[in-house]
A and B are shown apart, each in its own frame.
Chain A
Amino acid sequence: MRSRTRPIPKADVSAPLSVRLTVNGRPRTIAVEPRTTLLDALRDMLALSGTKKGCDRGECGACTVHIDGRRVLSCMTLAAMQEGRRITTIEGLEDGGRLHPVQAAFVEHDGFQCGFCTSGQIMSGVAMIEEAKAGWPSAATADVARSLTLADLSNAEIRERMSGNLCRCACYPNIVEAIAEAATGRR
């Protein structure tokens, strides 16, 4: 192994910080080191292991959760920066024992194989449908100046909007079908 020549700086303060946040509807207070990512805090401190760690570099989407309703990568943000935020993970999606429509559509359309990417895919898909409802364009939108509706959510649009979630099992066609049905009822 090559040597790491640069010294690791010693920080003067890296004492745990106390953070209050809401996770899946429940208020929580956690004590985290500044360097703890939101992903590690969810998995290791809050025992919410449904959120997966693939690359830990923002490159795969397996760690996708919602912060205040927006999809984000929990490996690329610090837990200590989430004071007062509302976090939703895959564990918080079901409603009184009933699957969220996107979860149900993934089961129906066989949108997974090994399942490692699946919670990230579903969290991404749920928020992506909201973005489309809000009229957000994508790189697959021919004319970004035009206003959009859910009816514009073609399969090409879904593929582009979901491109931040990789699937090593390549279940992409079924994932697109599942999301299309959940979003538009199109089968």
Chain B
Amino acid sequence: MHRFALSRAGDAAMAIAAHARDPALAFIAGGTDLLGLMKDRAALPERLLDINGLPDMARIEAVPDGGLRIGALARMSDVAADVEVRRRFPVIAEALLFAASGQLRNMASIGGNILQRTRCPYFRDGDDLPCNKRRAGSGCAALRGLNRNHAIFGWSEACVATHASDVAVAFAALDAHVIVRGRSGERSIPFGDFHRLPGDTPQRDTALERGELIVAVEVPAQEAGRASHYLKVRDRQSYEFALVSAAAALATDGRRIRSARLALGGVAHKPWRLTAAETALRGASLDDVEALKSAIATSFADARPLAGNGFKVELARRVSLRALQSAGARA
């Protein structure tokens, strides 16, 4: 790793001020993504500010109305083991448990998880191959290169990468909010607006601005929560990023769907919500497989696979269907 300075943040206001005035400063939480990027020279901060000592940011609170507030410094393993998280939103616990490994989950924070950068191999290649995300204007090696693991929705000629977080897919399905603190106070970003599509500026992953600290993720109370499931398909059974994953949550009357929430991972630069399918699923019977399939198909009209990942389109439809059925089995 290159040389850098390290200091500890004692309070949030000072951390935010330091971050705002110093473009070469990065926060470090678990370090499990940032240190990997630094070793691969895909991030070269000159100063790291250790935020792990900031007070009140590791709490997992079950809000009395049925929602959750998860502190940005809460560790993946603690959130996945939390009894209320498991009871109220199994999809969150499952998305966390299907990610990374036991050791990494003990280290990795929720804030760091949703900010993790893409696993596109060209982005992390230390030899500086063309990659607009790492160096604006240098091109995209994946567009006509190895793109089996890349996007089928929402990509641009500038970048075809996917977002690798699992729990972000669950948060997107559940309409969570990212609570962010800056110099002028707090703002609450709807999860669907937090991650960006690449467009012409793939170097920016999220709506977070310099001088902003994520303090928590809030999951609102909702009738679709308990009947929820996360399904992840990958090249090996465990300790691997998703090829395609789906988070599904349902509210039902008997076997009839009253409302459905469905989001895919591994298919776009952000968690990909299937809003057309959600509308089409309203009123469908969980036992009518053909109706479920055609409802899901409405969200695939704009799928644009790349040369190497055509298989993801059919895989994503099937993963969506199976996730819905498994959520339905909990209804």
Chain A positions near chain B (C-beta within 8 angstroms): 2-6, 8-14, 17, 33-35, 37, 56-58, 61, 64, 70-73, 76-78, 80-81, 83, 124, 127-128, 131, 134-139, 141, 143-145, 147, 159-165
Interfacial chain B residues near A76, Cβ < 8 Å: 30-32, 35-36, 104, 107
Contact B86 A144 (CB under 8 A): yes
Contact A163 B90 (CB under 8 A): no
B3 in the interface (beta carbon within 8 A): yes
Contact A136 B80 (CB under 8 A): yes
Nearest CB on A from B316, distance (A)? 20
Contact A9 B6 (CB under 8 A): no
B128 in the interface (beta carbon within 8 A): yes
B294 in the interface (beta carbon within 8 A): no
Interfacial chain B residues near A4, Cβ < 8 Å: 41, 126-128
Whole-angstrom CA separation of A51 from B241 in the bound complex: 26
Nearest CB on B from A104, distance (A)? 22
Whole-angstrom CA separation of A127 from B106 in the bound complex: 11
Nearest CB on B from A70, distance (A)? 5
Interfacial chain A residues near B39, Cβ < 8 Å: 56-57
Whole-angstrom CA separation of A73 from B39 in the bound complex: 15
Whole-angstrom CA separation of A77 from B27 in the bound complex: 14
Interfacial chain B residues near A37, Cβ < 8 Å: 35
Interfacial chain B residues near A34, Cβ < 8 Å: 3-6, 48
- 4 A-B pairs with the lowest CB-CB distances in the bound complex, closest first: A164-B101, A163-B238, A34-B6, A14-B3
Whole-angstrom CA separation of A20 from B218 in the bound complex: 36
Contact B86 A161 (CB under 8 A): no
Contact B103 A72 (CB under 8 A): yes
Among B2, B83, B90, chain A packs the most CB atoms within 10 A around the CB of B2
Contact B97 A139 (CB under 8 A): yes
Interfacial chain B residues near A14, Cβ < 8 Å: 3-5
Contact A128 B94 (CB under 8 A): no
B87 in the interface (beta carbon within 8 A): yes
Contact B31 A164 (CB under 8 A): no
B100 in the interface (beta carbon within 8 A): yes
A57-B39, A58-B36, A145-B90 given as contacts; is B5 within 8 A of A11 (CB)? yes
Interfacial chain B residues near A58, Cβ < 8 Å: 32, 36, 104
Whole-angstrom CA separation of A152 from B102 in the bound complex: 17
A9-B2, A139-B97, A144-B94 given as contacts; is B128 within 8 A of A2 (CB)? yes
Interfacial chain A residues near B162, Cβ < 8 Å: none
Beyond A11-B4, A35-B1, A76-B104, list 11 extra A-B contacts (CB 8 Å): A6-B128, A8-B2, A10-B46, A37-B35, A70-B106, A127-B102, A137-B93, A137-B97, A144-B94, A144-B97, A164-B102
Interfacial chain B residues near A64, Cβ < 8 Å: 103
B14 in the interface (beta carbon within 8 A): no
Whole-angstrom CA separation of A139 from B94 in the bound complex: 7
| B238 interface neighbour in A9, A13, A128, A160, Cβ under 8 Å | A160
Nearest CB on B from A18, distance (A)? 12
Nearest CB on A from B74, distance (A)? 14
B175 in the interface (beta carbon within 8 A): no
Contact B81 A134 (CB under 8 A): yes
Nearest CB on A from B106, distance (A)? 5
Closest A residue by C-beta to B44: A9
Interfacial chain A residues near B81, Cβ < 8 Å: 131, 134-137
Contact B103 A73 (CB under 8 A): yes
| B41 interface neighbour in A6, A13, A83, A139, Cβ under 8 Å | A6
